[in-house]
Amino acid sequence: MSNIVDYTIEPQLVEGNLSRREIDELISTPLNTKPTKGYYIGLSITLTMLLMGVIGVGLSFYYGVGMWGNNNPVGWGFPIVNFVFWVGIGHAGTLISAILFLLRQRWRNGIARFAEGMTIFAVMTAGLFPLIHVGRPWLAGYLFPYPNQHSLWPNFNSPLLWDVFAVSTYFTVSFIFWYVGLIPDFAILRDRTKSKIKKTIYSITSLGWRNSNRHWQHYEMVYLVLAGFATPLVLSVHTIVSFDFAVAILPGWHSTIFPPYFVAGAVFSGFAMVQNVLVIIRKIFHYEHIITLDTLEKMNKVIILTGSMVGYAYLMEFFIAWYSGNPIEQFTFVNRAFGPYAWAYWIMVSCNVIFPQLFWFKKIRRSIPIMFVIAVFVNVGMWFERYVITVSSLANDYLPSSWGYFTPTLTDLAILIGSFGFFFTFVLLFAKTMPVVSMVEVKSITSGAQPSHGDH
């Protein structure tokens, strides 16, 4: 691939001159072959991590929330940090699949299905945390406004309840969007498979889809409508998550820039995670022609864009804290950088602001090992950002007499590791049971796929 970009021709979206049948073949192969040894090793690692999480959660239910490091004044610890982290990761998927669709960036077609799947699993993982951190998750039904025997309704003024609605809506709509995209692919699999059981399953899940153009017409409109709804939805979900913090009057939390800052941060960490997983998937399943290096490079550009937005937010918060003249506000920010949590703060700044700036260089953007490492750093940095925001503001708030230090316990760490296990287990299972690339969408962008005359 030459380094000089000729702007008169559009780059090829699907390389290697794959025919449409070959695409079907390539993408449905993992579903029909037995898992490799590498797959089993991967799955056993993720299942072990998941098991650690299960033990952590079990202990937490049995002995109570005291197993965690939450104390007074730091009443919100790992669970909320993990929740915000995982919801953020989910956003990249919807952005790739909905927003890039609206922007008519067709390079998304190869990665959209996978990204949406990751969104769903990330939101599921995120949803575990509010559930366990209420202590008695079986009473979670009271969060929804249904007529109950106490005649009580949930408190609509609380951002925590807005979260309930936002995350449930996000999960439902993402799932529907993902499923609607899967219907034609299930039809393809139904018609290709030789196994009777699989045929029954695919027939049911494809709902009897017939590829009729009278259906495609409505299908495309609904897809557009869903993408149009999913876009503001994804922005609103992390905005509402940011409201959890920003509506409080704690210094360091009550900052009007939180909504766009959190959304940018979510896209940032989400893209990093998606990029990491895609790098692995394309290697294992030989999808290099579909998930091209160009695609990965474009993702890295998004990473640097959103990383810069996050850096801008840091700067603006710091400046306005000084500008406000409010000594408590000023103390909070100085304390973050030089107080007891300075170690977390500097990890956050170096991983979020410094390392991603390397993506200005084209060589680095197109180098798989380096981009993988930078993306890992981004994920680490974004986790620490949530940690710094939550814990440092709670630990050192208005009254020095209420200050206290937060130390995570082993149970906290076990649950965090378990959440990664939960997520990656689902990703691995997904990769082996469903087509991770949308066959229909990729076929529609191969060369010669659309009629040569016509308005486009």
Partner 1 sequence: MKEKILYSYSALFDSPDKIIHAANVVQEKGYKKYDIHTPYPIHGMDSTMKLGTSKMAYVALVFGLLGTFGSLFMMYWMGSIDYPVIVGGKPFFSFPAYVPIMFELTVLSAAVMTVVSMLFVFFKLPNLSHPLHDTEYMKSVTADKYGVTIEVSDEQYDEEEISKLYAELGAIKTFHIYYDNEEISTKHIAMQPKFLGFLLFIFIFVAGSTYFTLNKFMFMQPYNWMREQSKLTAQEGSTFFADGFGMRMPVKGTVARGTMPYLFKGKPELAATTLHNPLLPTKMNLELGRKKFNIYCSPCHGYFAKGKSRLHGQFPNPPSLHSVKVRNWPDGRIYAVIMDGQNVMPSYASQLDYNERWAVILYIRTLQRSLNAKESDLK
Partner 2 sequence: MSISSNIGYEKKGIPASFYKVGISLFVVGLVIVVFGYFSNPVRSAFNNVVLLMLLVSVGVGSLFLIAVEYLAGAVWSTPFRRIFEFLASTVLILPLVFIPIYFNMHNIFHWMHQTEVVKDTVLSSKSGYLNQPFFLIRWVIYYVIWSAFYFLFTGNSKKQDNTGDQSYTRKNVRIAAAFIPIFALTISFAAIDMIMSLEPHWFSTIFGVYYFSGTVLTALSAGTFLVVYLSKKGYLFNGINQDHYYSFGALLFAFINFWAYIAFSQYLLIWYGNLPEETSWYLHRWHGTWIYFSIFLLIVHFLIPYAFLLSQPAKMNPKRLN
Which residue among 88, 117, 259, 356 contacts partner 2 (CB under 8 A)?
A: 259
204 binds, among partner 2, partner 1, none (CB under 5 to 8 A by kind): partner 1
Q: CB within 8 A of 289, min separation 6: which ones?
A: 14, 15, 16, 18
Which residue among 12, 168, 205, 308 contacts partner 2 (CB under 8 A)?
A: 308
Binding mask 185-214 toward partner 1 (x if CB under 8 A, else -) reads: --xx-xxx----------xx--xxxxxxxx
CB of 377 vs partner 2, minimal distance in Å: 20
CB of 387 vs partner 1, minimal distance in Å: 25
Which residue among 40, 145, 315, 361 contacts partner 1 (CB under 8 A)?
A: 145
408 and 77 Cβ atoms separated by less than 8 Å = yes
Residue of 203, 178, 201 whose CA lies nearest to 113? 178
Which residue among 61, 331, 372, 403 contacts partner 1 (CB under 8 A)?
A: 61
107 and 253 Cβ atoms separated by less than 8 Å = no
274 binds partner 1 (CB under 8 A): no
How far is it, in rounded angstroms, from Cα 430 to Cα 120?
Answer: 11
Q: Is 181 or 265 the residue whose CB approaches partner 1 more closely?
A: 181
7 binds, among partner 1, partner 2, none (CB under 5 to 8 A by kind): partner 2
Binding mask 146-185 toward partner 2 (x if CB under 8 A, else -) reads: ----------------------------------------
Q: Which amino acid is at 405?
A: Y
CB of 235 vs partner 2, minimal distance in Å: 7
Among positions 71-110, residues that touch partner 2 (CB under 8 A) are 102
Torsion of CA 237, 239, 243, 249, to 10 degrees: 170
Size of the site for partner 2 (CB under 8 A): 35
How far is it, in rounded angstroms, from Cα 103 to Cα 99?
Answer: 6
Tokens 């079990």 appear where? 58
Torsion of CA 402, 407, 410, 411, to 10 degrees: 30
Which residue among 199, 254, 366, 432 contacts partner 2 (CB under 8 A)?
A: 254
Q: Is 19 or 32 the residue whose CB approaches partner 1 more closely?
A: 19
CA 204 to chain centre: 29
Q: Is 190 or 365 the residue whose CB approaches partner 1 more closely?
A: 190
How far is it, in rounded angstroms, from Cα 295 to Cα 32?
Answer: 27
Question: What are the phi and psi torsion angles at 403 (to 5°)?
Answer: -65, 150
87 and 127 Cβ atoms separated by less than 8 Å = no
Q: Is 96 or 431 the residue whose CB approaches partner 2 more closely?
A: 96
Task: Determine if the peptide bond prior to 79 is cis (ω within 30°).
Answer: no
32 binds partner 1 (CB under 8 A): no
107 and 295 Cβ atoms separated by less than 8 Å = yes
215 binds partner 1 (CB under 8 A): yes
105 binds partner 1 (CB under 8 A): no
Tokens 């993990």 appear where? 82
Residue of 420, 83, 408, 417 whose CA lies nearest to 245? 83
CB of 200 vs partner 1, minimal distance in Å: 10
How far is it, in rounded angstroms, from Cα 434 to Cα 185?
Answer: 9
Phi-psi label, residue 16: left if phi above 0, alpha if psi -120 to 50, beta otherwise: left
Which range binds partner 2 by CB under 8 A, 54-62, 270-278, 307-315, 436-444? 307-315
217 binds partner 1 (CB under 8 A): yes
Binding mask 235-254 toward partner 1 (x if CB under 8 A, else -) reads: -x--xx--x-----------
Which range binds partner 1 by CB under 8 A, 112-120, 231-239, 267-275, 403-411? 231-239
What tokens appear for 252 in the block?
Answer: 């360091």
What tokens appear for 91 in the block?
Answer: 């956003």
6 binds partner 2 (CB under 8 A): yes
232 binds partner 1 (CB under 8 A): yes
Tell me which residues touch partner 2 (CB under 8 A): 5-8, 102, 224, 232, 235, 239, 243, 246-249, 254-260, 308, 312-313, 315-317, 320, 322-326, 360, 456
